[in-house]
Structure 1
């Protein structure tokens, strides 16, 4: 009996270490996962573990996703890349087997795991701020505080995703569990919201803009203080606008986004590189829609598309004429060019030809950048569809939609927020192609889903 209790305590402490390591993005989480696997292998009750695992259809779904990746090696040529990618994604299999086959943690333990991650995320952001201050004193460059220059251990989109989730944890622990005093929670959330602005990741900024009113307004509505809630939301948005107005990488990215939105419907390459990446990604998916290109070859297929577009778009009169024809099919673009021609005091045909030539040159430049940097799909749904085909795509949709719908039904704010944050982040980044994304997503997906499984009526 005592050995069983010690085993459960060890399991909990290893999960706690894993959450801290994930939040700080240090090697600690890798050590914890290895220790969890060793404990799982040497502990007794394998049959009971498998029975417990079968009861968790979400964990079985995650294991099935990993199995599809493994199976796709059979039709991959680049076996070395495929094996490396399977190793990178191995936490999907390992953590699914371990967490889903163990006895569910009690609420207090889950809250401690969540709090440890949220505090680790805050500590990492404060460390990055300190590092940025030191760099600023040396360079006097304001961009030391923004975007990629601000981060230390990972891409800004991942750190912003962590920060978004940490905010929902702090709110949940204050409102539901009364863990944190109001003043401390308000200060922490203010800091984390500021860090999201500093990190300048557009999707996570959009996620935050959506979550702020959805979170705040119902709280004050229940207190019959809706106007106070609206005032707080407006104050937060005004603070965000003030930070965005500062001359910085954030301000540049904000203006760039506004320009992209204004140019929707206009034939222009003043657009996010994802527009070009996704257009080629869809061709890769179309060519391999049923089984995918395979875990080893999917990135090679996309990079080959970049190379092919560059070779087909070399600067020549015939190619420019083709671009001119495409532009003239778009009424909004032709109207825009006629206005530009008047402003520049040139003929419409001169403006059209110059625009087409510059458009082709910039398009080639973007594809060359994508080729040189080996850009992936920058959309996890496309990446999965391209790698393992239709069944993998439907599986990841099911794995996200099912718990989200259940969270709405059960009024589970934390699970719903997590799925929304992750599901939205996957739209603009292939989060499961880096271990910072794989471990974070699968770990908290399983921990939060275990709450749902535990509360499921028998």
Structure 2
């Protein structure tokens, strides 16, 4: 509140753009349809905000926007122009967010902190809403599965909501060791972390579980290697992690998902004999089909053509179930290589590695977790084919990079008062 009181409301141009960033961060995990409205407000406010000369930021903009440029190039050899145009429209955020953040004057650090914190708050609202919706469904059906997978998350795909939850937990773990809170506030923050950790069980995303384990280890290692070792926080985080894993172990729905993955990996499951393929088996077939097509088309099949080519491949090989589902590769790296070529994939991989130079200099370990988490999720989901994943990635990647450290360098050793 003190920051808002200090702002001269007559200078609204300085206030509108950062506020739109905070607003958009809040709605990203909360709404799927209608996210265009806060994005539009973000764009409009940028026009009135002070700018940075483009010549100073053209290279990082090209690094992040280059992936979209490859999609534009793919339009020259696509066979389905309408599908290609739809794909370009869906992915426009990959170009817009890097451009707007790169050319906007760096925001006040407090607004940057508010942005990531409001994302966590928005995610908490989203999870509570999911429990309410599932509760009503369960009251009508009596089926406990109304609390799991897509039934738990009717707005977002379970993998997306699991990714959002892990990111929100990482944000909360970062702020409790970088900002100064009262004891009551810290208790509430840890209750929220515990709540979100248990909520991760209900989407039953297998990669979500893996990244959660990675998250626990990541922060324990991070805290253990700092000059100030957060003993109590480390103990609480370990307790949260163990409790959540025990909940997963004894939760029948979550455990069945884990067991199916293990059985398939051990070769005990024969998906081709079942009436309906388990998701792991479907992914393997999709990956093999995609790799075969990449060998035939090293420069891609063209923007918008990938689904048609895959469907034809499935039907030619007698995989009618996968063809009818319109299954995509469920791997963003393979998806991009097949659609727009191996050079485009290499550029995208470069864009994921490029920020680590700045991360090491600024010690922005939350940004590092964001990129590592995303990179793992992209192994099992084509998350940059849907607007929810595109907006999440492009918004936060640009916000993190062009804002440098969202908290500030070495703030773990010198905690700041959140109210200042």
**TM-score normalized by the length of structure 2:** 0.85
Q: Confirm or deny that 1:244 pairs with 2:252.
A: no
Match of 2:35, SS? helix
Q: Is the 8 A contact 2:216 2:237 kept in 1?
A: no
Mapped partners of 1:402, 1:385: distance in 2: 19
Q: 2:263 aligns with which of 259, 284, 295?
A: 259
Q: Which residue is 2:301 aligned to?
A: 293
Mapped partners of 2:301, 2:45: distance in 1: 36
Superimposed CA distance per residue, residues 34-72 of structure 1 (whole angstroms, 9 cap, x where no aligned partner): 2333344x54888x5423432xx3332222111110111
Within 5 Å, give how 1:267-282 maps onto structure 2: 271-282=280-291
Q: 1:307 aligns with which of 310, 315, 330?
A: 315
Mapped partners of 1:302, 1:405: distance in 2: 37
Superimposed CA distance per residue, residues 365-422 of structure 1 (whole angstroms, 9 cap, x where no aligned partner): xx32210010111111111111111221111111112224542454322101100111
Q: Confirm or deny that 1:23 pairs with 2:32.
A: no
Q: Confirm or deny that 1:383 pairs with 2:335.
A: yes
Mapped partners of 2:396, 2:62: distance in 1: 16
Mapped partners of 2:113, 2:66: distance in 1: 29
Superimposed CA distance per residue, residues 276-313 of structure 1 (whole angstroms, 9 cap, x where no aligned partner): 10000001111111x21111212221221111111xxx
Q: Which residue is 1:6 aligned to?
A: 12
Query: What displacement does 1:252 show?
Result: 1.8
Match of 1:24, SS? coil
Larger radius of gyration, structure 1 or 2? 1
Query: What displacement does 1:131 show?
Result: 1.5
In structure 2, relative to structure 1, the CA distance for the partners of 1:303 and 1:198 (3 Å cut) is same
Q: Is the 8 A contact 1:380 1:431 kept in 2?
A: yes
Mapped partners of 2:338, 2:10: distance in 1: 45
Query: What displacement does 1:85 show?
Result: 0.6
Q: Which residue is 1:335 aligned to?
A: none
Q: Is the 8 A contact 1:380 1:432 kept in 2?
A: yes
Query: What displacement does 1:127 show?
Result: 0.8
Match of 2:281, SS? coil
Mapped partners of 2:176, 2:211: distance in 1: 21
Q: Which residue is 1:176 aligned to?
A: 178
Q: Which residue is 1:36 aligned to?
A: 42
Q: Confirm or deny that 1:416 pairs with 2:416.
A: no
Query: What displacement does 1:28 show?
Result: 5.1
Query: What displacement does 1:208 show?
Result: 0.6
Q: Which residue is 1:50 aligned to?
A: 54
Q: Is the 8 A contact 1:217 1:229 kept in 2?
A: no
Compare 122-131 and 179-188 and name the one that shifted more. Answer: 179-188
More helix by share: 1
In structure 2, relative to structure 1, the CA distance for the partners of 1:217 and 1:428 (3 Å cut) is same
Alignment length (residue pairs):
392
Q: Is the 8 A contact 2:198 2:247 kept in 1?
A: no
Q: Which residue is 2:196 aligned to?
A: 192
Mapped partners of 1:63, 1:231: distance in 2: 40
Query: What displacement does 1:107 show?
Result: 1.5
In structure 2, relative to structure 1, the CA distance for the partners of 1:179 and 1:299 (3 Å cut) is farther
Q: Which residue is 2:121 aligned to?
A: 119
**TM-score normalized by the length of structure 1:** 0.79
Q: Confirm or deny that 1:396 pairs with 2:348.
A: yes
Mapped partners of 1:100, 1:179: distance in 2: 32
Q: Which residue is 2:416 aligned to?
A: none
Query: What displacement does 1:130 show?
Result: 1.4
List alignment gaps of at least 5 residues for structure 2. Answer: 1-7, 273-277, 410-420
Mapped partners of 1:65, 1:243: distance in 2: 37
Q: 2:212 aligns with which of 208, 215, 218?
A: 208
Q: Which residue is 1:345 aligned to?
A: none
Q: Is the 8 A contact 1:21 1:27 kept in 2?
A: no
Match of 2:329, SS? coil
Q: Which residue is 1:435 aligned to?
A: 387
Q: Is the 8 A contact 2:332 2:384 kept in 1?
A: yes
Query: What displacement does 1:233 show?
Result: 2.5
Q: Is the 8 A contact 1:72 1:295 kept in 2?
A: yes
Mapped partners of 1:77, 1:166: distance in 2: 41
List alignment gaps of at least 5 residues for structure 1. Answer: 311-366
Superimposed CA distance per residue, residues 162-207 of structure 1 (whole angstroms, 9 cap, x where no aligned partner): 1111111111111112357321121011111111111101111101
Query: What displacement does 1:245 show?
Result: 2.1
Q: Is the 8 A contact 1:14 1:32 kept in 2?
A: yes
Q: Output the aligned Cα RMSD.
A: 2.8
Q: Which residue is 1:372 aligned to?
A: 324
